[in-house]
Amino acid sequence: MPRLIARYQSWHARTYSQNLRSDFALALVRVSAKLMTKFNIYCDESCHLENDHQRSMVIGAVTCSESKTRTIADSLRQLKRTHGLAETFETKWTKVSPSKLAFYLSVVDYFFNESDLRFRAIVVPDKRILDHSAFDQDHDTFYYKMYFNMLKVIFAPEGTYRIYIDIKDTRSAGKERRLLEFLCNQQRDFDHKRVQLLQSVRSNQVEQIQLADLLIGATSYANRRLDTSKAKLAIINRVKERSGYSLTSSTPLAASKFNILCWKPENVEV
C-alpha cells in the first residue's frame, strides 16, 4: 500500500502543475474552515465568592451554535409572551414563584426539547474544606481553574467559541481579561483561534444567560439541600425528570445535553 500511495503522489506531481496543486491545497483549507463550527457559550455562577457564607459553589454554561443564537432567543421571548410576561422580563432563579411556575417549567422543557442547547456545570460541594495555601494559590486562582475545568469539556478541536459572562460588579472587566488569559494559556491558544471572544454582557439583555442562570440556580439549590420553596423544588424535579440525573452527583462525562461534574478535592492540585 505505501508503494501504491507513493506512485500516485509521483503521478499527481507529474500530471498537475504547481499552480493547480496549490489551488487544490487552498480548496482543502477552505473546506476545512467551513467544517469548523462556531459556538456561543453563556456563563454564570452561583455562590462563588470565598466568604459569602454559602457552602456550595456552582459555575456553569449554556451552549448553542452561533447560527441558532437568534432563533433560540426569539423562542425564549415567545415563551414569555405566551405566559403573559413582557419580553423584557428577566428569567432568573431568584424570581421563581408559584405564580410564574408554569412559565419556568416551560423554559426547562424548551431547553430539553431544543437539540442545539447544551448545559455544563461544575459543582464544588463544600468550599469550607478548600486549602488554597497547600497549592500556593488564592481563591481567585481557584475560581479560574474551576472555570477552565467547566469549559474544557465543552471545547472541541473543530470548534471556535465566543464566551459571554454575566456582568456582576465593577470588577467584571478585570475578571474578563484574566479569565481569557487563563483559558488561552491552558489551551495554548495564544492567537485566539479557538476562543475568539470573551465578553461581559448584561443578563437582562441576553436570553441564553438567563437560561444559564435558571439551570445553575436549580443545580445550586439542589446541592445546598434547600427545600423552602415548593416552586423551586418543582423546577428541580422537572430538570431531574427530563435529564435523568440527580443534580447532586456527577453525570457521565459523555453526557452532552446536561453535564455536571461534582468536583472533590484530592491530594493533588486541581
* Run of H or E residues at 199: strand 195-201
Residue 179 has a pLDDT of 78
CA 56 to chain centre: 19
269 part of a folded domain: no
85 part of a folded domain: yes
Pair (1, 96) in one structural domain: no
Pair (191, 93) in one structural domain: yes
Count the domains in the chain.
Answer: 2
Residue 186 has a pLDDT of 74
Task: Give me the tens of pLDDT residue by residue for the chain, a chain 270 residues long.
Answer: 445 444 544 544 454 444 444 444 444 434 444 445 899 999 998 755 545 556 778 999 999 999 999 999 999 999 999 999 999 999 999 999 999 999 999 999 999 999 999 999 999 876 666 545 555 555 566 778 888 889 888 988 888 999 998 876 656 566 777 777 777 777 777 777 788 888 889 999 999 999 999 999 999 999 989 999 999 999 999 999 999 999 999 999 889 999 999 977 665 444
List the domain range (segments joined by +) for residue 7.
1-35
Predicted structure pTM score: 0.79
The partner residues of 161 in beta bridges, in order of sequence, read: 39, 195
Residue 28 has a pLDDT of 41
DSSP conformation class of 128: G
Pair (95, 28) in one structural domain: no
137 part of a folded domain: yes
Residue 6 has a pLDDT of 47
Plot region of 188 (φ>0 → left; ψ -120 to 50 → alpha; else → beta): left
The partner residues of 60 in beta bridges, in order of sequence, read: 44, 121
Q: Which three cell numbers stand for residue 114?
A: 431544543
- CATH number of the domain residue 224 falls in: 3.30.420.10
How, if at all, do strands 37-46 and 159-166 pair?
parallel
